[in-house]
Amino acid sequence: MTITPEPRSNFSHLFSAPVIVAALGYFVDIYDLLLFGIVRLPSLASLGLSDTEISQTGASILNWQMAGLLLGGILWGVLGDKKGRLSVLFGSIITYSLANIACGFVQDPTTYKLLRFIAGIGLAGELGAGITLVSEILPKHLRAIGTSLVAGVGLLGAVVAYFTVEFFDWRYAYFIGGGLGISLLLLRIGVFESGIFKDLKDQKHIEKGNFFSLFTKRERLIRYLKCIGIGLPTWFVIGILATFSNEFGKALGTDEAIKPGLAIMWCYVGLSVGDFCSGFLSHWLESRKRAVFYLMLFTLVCSIAYFYAGINKADTLYIVLVLLGFGIGYWAMFVTIGAEQFGTNLRATAATTVPNMVRGTVIGMTTLFSLFKDSFSVINAGALVGVICFVIGLYCIQTIPETHGRDLDFLEE
């Protein structure tokens, strides 16, 4: 007599070890990713830089970190499809944890740039590999909720990073981040690999993780570029509106000086809530595209208010940043769309490179912001960068194929 095992409940799927560990991994990843933005002013000031040098050097270090994310996204994405999702989760966390510990000993801006570049390489692997793993192990009707849980919990790492800096010296904040990463390695030991990937792994004749194949077929390239375009408004909010909120606050004439670290923290509070909600919204609407489109429009309205509503109180600006964070809470859906658009043999490559390509566009955004400031006010310079990001983002989400309910057991030819 054959005993049929009882089907697993939705709860047991959503709170399985891979989902929990992916969420905690992204928590540490966000802590370390945002830490420089939070400690930018105090850390560079302690190195003896003037206010002008802090602005220029801070932007340069941020660009180096983002360049590392670009390179690391390709590296870990390819390894994720060739060697497995778990190998990336282990390798990336070792890299950025050690780099962050080293940042606690930094004594000059040049070394700081190098270490943030290495940290960027390591940080690039966590989200894409985690979302790919979770997307492949969960039933398709729970995929949106599962990836939202990962992102929602993970993004709270920014809040912890802010309060860590409030209570500890910035150097200790880096040590704590590195220590959290090393501790997380112990939790990863019992996590199992995606069954879809294991089935593919033994098929030697199928090419896996070829990054350049994303560019060899016109239809696939357009899909890939649209995935990147959808994410541009998210890092416009984080990389421009939150990171340089002190400059915007000064231009708006707020009653108190805006603290970029506090601005980033409040933005991520909203982002975490938005990410939790976006998965349920997508599930309810039965559409990734409509959920992202509505949240993107909400972010656009809040961005206009940020620039032109005549905000003159610091508290009001922080509230608007919370709302902006909520709007870009489609980040989880954006990464999930990137994973669902591509076959198993390219999924980790796409899902890992897409968010890091978006993060890398911050280099272009900060460059344009600096150039526009030569001819326009700080407010209008920021708004012009935003126009570019939202036009591209809205076009891409409207024209990309819907992936809600798609079976992920397929290959790219």
With 0-12 / 13-18 / 19 or more C-beta atoms within 10 angstroms meaning exposed / middle / buried, residue 357 is buried
Q: What is the pLDDT of residue 412?
A: 67
User: What confidence category does residue 6 fall into, taking pLDDT thresholds of 50, 70 and 90?
Assistant: low
Does 411 fall in a domain?
A: no
Does 74 fall in a domain?
A: yes
Q: Which of 311, 239, 274 is nearest to 69 (CA)?
A: 239
Determine the average pLDDT of the residues in 90-110: 91
Q: What is the pLDDT of residue 200?
A: 53
CA gap 173, 179 in Å, rounded: 10
Q: According to the per-residue pLDDT averaged within each range, which of 209-223, 233-247, 361-375, 382-396 is highest?
A: 382-396
CA gap 28, 14 in Å, rounded: 20
Q: In sequence order, what are the residues at sequence separation of 6 or more whose Cβ sits closer than 8 angstroms to the Cβ of residue 2?
A: none
Q: What is the pLDDT of residue 245?
A: 93
CA gap 357, 337 in Å, rounded: 15
CA gap 386, 308 in Å, rounded: 13
**Structure token digits, residue 349:** 């490559």
Give the residue with greater pLDDT, 407 vs 230. Answer: 230
Does 373 fall in a domain?
A: yes
The CATH code of the domain that includes 252 is 1.20.1250.20
Does 235 fall in a domain?
A: yes
Does 316 fall in a domain?
A: yes
- % the chain with pLDDT above 90: 39
Interval 190-228: pLDDT, tens: 565 555 545 555 665 566 657 788 888 899 999 999 999
SS3 275: helix
Q: What is the pLDDT of residue 350?
A: 84
User: What confidence category does residue 254 fall into, taking pLDDT thresholds of 50, 70 and 90?
Assistant: very high
- Residue 398 identity (one-letter amino acid): Q
- Within its chain, how far is the Cα of 70 from the centroid? 12
Question: Does the pLDDT of residue 290 top 60, yes or no?
Answer: yes
Question: Does the pLDDT of residue 189 top 70, yes or no?
Answer: no
Give the domain range for residue 142. 16-194+213-399
Our count of domains for the chain comes to 1
217-221, 334-338, 404-408: which has the minimum mean pLDDT? 404-408
Q: What is the pLDDT of residue 248?
A: 95
SS3 for 118-161 is HHHHHHCCHHHHHHHHHHHHCCHHHHHHHHHHHHHHHHCHHHHH
Instruction: Let me know: does 35 contact 97? Beta carbons within 8 Å.
Output: no
155-159, 298-302, 387-391: which has the minimum mean pLDDT? 155-159
Determine the average pLDDT of the residues in 343-348: 80
